[in-house]
Structure 1
């Protein structure tokens, strides 16, 4: 492969990477071709977790770090709502950074998703594919060459990350971007970046992903099985900062969504500047009057004041509280307006790993319900579904507020006749949110919540990601 420097057509069993154990990719080919799985609706469970794809034609790209292997496998078919049909309940689990550092967390959640026929979004930090010895190749906007607030991976962990990214894409997951240096404070903060700064950052992130063989010298390793120029259609900024100036650049690049908004409610999303705006959301926080953003870091900020190693005696309660928060957010949406639920995480071990356990517990709870109208998908799969819908239907869905049931039921609310569907709209008061443990939605963080109220508001100041 070291002699390949342009798009070279090879005939090979690229499916070999799809059939290996979760811990990594095997070196041998030998994969028998099987018929593809039957077509499924967006997010429908596959019923299996180890499907092997038929042999594929592989076109290496550039130095062979990435490859065009054709259509991504294990993708569901997108359906369109029928008149009067209740919308599915979408749940999107996403991961910021998406690097494997030997803790086994990336493989752990790949297996969890595979066991339940689910898909997720992995926002890959470009620096996680750049060896530290070559860090001066990174020129952050308004920063010194090689500067980074998240550091660099050891070579061993870089290889593990490559294996997990390969596996994730072949399983049907999305590979987005978390950009590079993760600058949240100071004069070089992403909050101050211009559209041109974002363009530079994205160009570099893509270069690190598409030229890791050149920077590492590992030409004997398998390529990533996707064309990143086509794959990359969305991302999440560090600490949820800088979206306003990112959007013009994202639009020019043809991105389809952005998940960087500093916070939203559990309502149906809309577009900003022709790009789907998919924010983390305020969800019930049992034992408190205020609500919390749907991310592990915000659970941490409200429970241990951002300390990542606290008194272990608090861990059991905090773990169950975090899991109950995710589940309450799901239940509220599922029983009322069916707004999608967005959950953000990092591969971290804060406070003894309780947030990883909490998100797994919530995931298993949602998946165990066995409801055909509950779909665990990636952001890309979700916007595929949104783009397939009648815009008038989406407009109707956006009228529903947090915890509000459709007036007259779904069959009437989404009836084909808008006049009939609109009869009585707005006459029904929103139902109280289940499982909030208090008065939800105040966002003040100063009320008399029980169970150790931290007084931290789920506002912008507590939003962020530190991996």
Structure 2
């Protein structure tokens, strides 16, 4: 470890991973700065709507989904994009399927129900492109290579779903809130949290997730476009302060979560783009996927003396 410090890992990840234009955008950004990122894919984005009742989620009708389903054109286009992104070194994780949040959502699911949900994800990946095309199409990836999950809305009984993940051979959970600190294993998995930070120029605490930043800024309401430059600058300043906090505390990883979205006049996608371009080329920084970080930790362990929140 140069200068006695581990690398400063910046881990950028996305939920949903369906929008084709945003796939093009983030692949281009990653190539520009030699970054690898993690894309948490929602199963229905690879599964055609006319076969939706194959999916039987707990406590919901067959075919229920809060995020819709695919059609022939976008399922096949996503299949191609996923293959290309994986070839470029990007990681695919799972964001589960129906995106059920709140009182009737995933919070009450058992380990057995989570196992069924993960199996349904595998089935959508393996068979969705063929069903959409009406002829045999190879799946975009082998679902057994998926080693991490971010749960919808960051919800769910963690012990229950992590047991299902561990039994499946998965390695990390990216769902829980946490702090800027070296990760630990919890329930047999690496816990890669969305970290608590202070919104720049305020005393507000928020998480390093675009929706949470949006809520902290404008209560998740769209602001007038004239405010977009200032809001974007505030998010960028928040990321920079978090990076400085990591450097001051022994270089624990910085986890940044986004959605494939254009929320609030694209403030959060634009601020993250700026940060990635400015940061990932810095000599002590490595912009990596969650799995690259997990592999580094498996090889090197958690650096001693640097495992407390900073």
Q: TM-score higher than 0.5 here?
A: yes
Please list, as runs of the form range in 1=range in 2, the aligned pairs for 1:29-428 lying within 5 A after superposition.
81=1, 85-101=4-20, 104-187=21-104, 189-219=105-135, 223-224=139-140, 226-229=141-144, 231-242=145-156, 243-261=158-176, 263-307=177-221, 309-369=222-282, 371=283, 373-389=284-300, 391=301, 394-399=303-308, 401-402=309-310
Report the 3-state secondary structure (helix = DSSP H, G, I; strand = E; otherwise coil) of the residue aligned with 1:151: coil
Larger relative contact order, structure 1 or 2 (CA cutoff 8 Å, min sep 6): 2
Preserved CA contact (<8 Å) 1:199 1:249: yes
Shift of 1:236: 0.3
Q: Cα distance, 1:315 vs. partner?
A: 1.4
How many equivalent pairs are there? 309
Equivalent residues of 2:47, 2:71 under 8 A apart: no
Q: Equivalents in 2 of 1:355, 1:157: separation in Å?
A: 25
In the TM superposition, what whole-angstrom CA distance separates every residue of 1:17-57 from its partner, at most 9, and x where no partner exists?
xxxxxxxxxxxxxxxxxxxxxxxxxxxxxxxxxxxxxxxxx
CA contact (8 A) 2:148 2:170 kept: yes
- TM-score, with structure 1 as normaliser: 0.64
> Is the Cα–Cα contact under 8 Å of residues 100 and 160 in structure 1 kept in the other structure?
no
Report how far residue 156 of structure 1 moved. 2.7
- Once residues 321 and 340 of structure 1 are traced to their aligned partners in structure 2, the CA distance between those partners, rounded to angstroms, is 21
For 1:214 and 1:227, locate their aligned partners in 2 and report how far apart those are by CA, in whole Å: 14
Distance 2:275 2:167 in 1: 37
* Matches for 1:441-460 after TM superposition, within 5 Å: none
Shift of 1:172: 0.8
Q: Shift in Å at residue 337 of structure 1?
A: 2.1
| Bigger share in helix | 2
Larger Rg: 1
C-alpha RMSD of matched pairs (Å): 1.7
| Aligned residue in 2 for 1:29 | none
Give 1:85 shift: 2.5
Give the secondary-structure state (helix, strand or coil) at the position aligned to 2:306. helix
The question of whether the paired residues in 2 share the 8 Å contact of 1:266 and 1:339 is answered with yes
* Residues 2-41 of structure 1 mapped to structure 2, 5 A cutoff: none
3-state SS of paired residue (2:280) = helix
How far apart, CA to CA, are the structure 1 residues paired with 2:86 and 2:226? 39
CA contact (8 A) 1:240 1:260 kept: yes
Taking the aligned partners of 2:33 and 2:134, their CA distance within structure 1 comes to 34
Is the Cα contact below 8 Å between 1:94 and 1:345 reproduced in 2?
Answer: yes
CA distance in 2, matches of 1:130, 1:114: 28
How far did residue 117 of structure 1 move? 1.2
2 CA distance for matches of 1:395 and 1:368?
26
Q: State how far apart, in whole Å, the 2-side matches of 1:246 and 1:236 are.
A: 11
Q: TM-score, normalised by structure 2?
A: 0.94
- In 2, Cα distance between equivalents of 1:332 and 1:378: 21
Distance 1:270 1:155 in 2: 42
Superimposed CA distance per residue, residues 231-256 of structure 1 (whole angstroms, 9 cap, x where no aligned partner)? 11111000111123111111111111
- Asked if structure 1 preserves the Cα contact closer than 8 Å seen for 2:199 and 2:234, the reply is yes
Correspondence for 1:449 = none
Cα drift, residue 300 of structure 1: 1.0
**Cα–Cα, structure 1 residues 213 and 160, in superposed 2: closer, same or farther, change >3 Å?**
closer
Q: Where does the alignment leave 5 or more consecutive residues of structure 2 unmatched?
A: none
CA contact (8 A) 1:284 1:292 kept: yes
1:214 shift after superposition: 3.3
Using the alignment, how far apart are the partners of 2:234 and 2:81 within structure 1? 30
